[in-house]
Amino acid sequence: MNSNCSVLVAYSSSSTLKLSLSYNLLLSCIALPLFLWASIKLWTGVYTKGFHRNFRMIIQMHLFGLMLHCIGRIVLHTLDLINYIFLQPCDMIPNIYR
């Protein structure tokens, strides 16, 4: 067993890591529809019609960035959990996005 394999065995058997990834995945899955709803309400809502168009565009860009961030987290954390739960630790390829 080489040093990379022993490190990956420690990572894949860590319940704290799996719990942390699951928690982040859950929060990202909850946040994505909320950001989408806020984006729709920003342009169609009665209370936001008083905002200047440029201000709404700035808020929209922030919401778009948050949605993009959540999509990335959902994909990466799902792949990590699948790797840690179903693959053999020595067969895992280190993720280049880490």
Q: Which amino acid is at 54?
A: N
CA separation for the pair 20, 96 (Å, rounded): 20
Over residues 30-48, mean pLDDT: 91
- 8 Å CB contact between 95 and 80: yes
Over residues 50-56, mean pLDDT: 89
Q: Residue 31: pLDDT band by 50, 70, 90 thresholds?
A: very high
pTM exceeding 0.85: no
CA separation for the pair 57, 78 (Å, rounded): 31
Mean pLDDT of the chain: 86
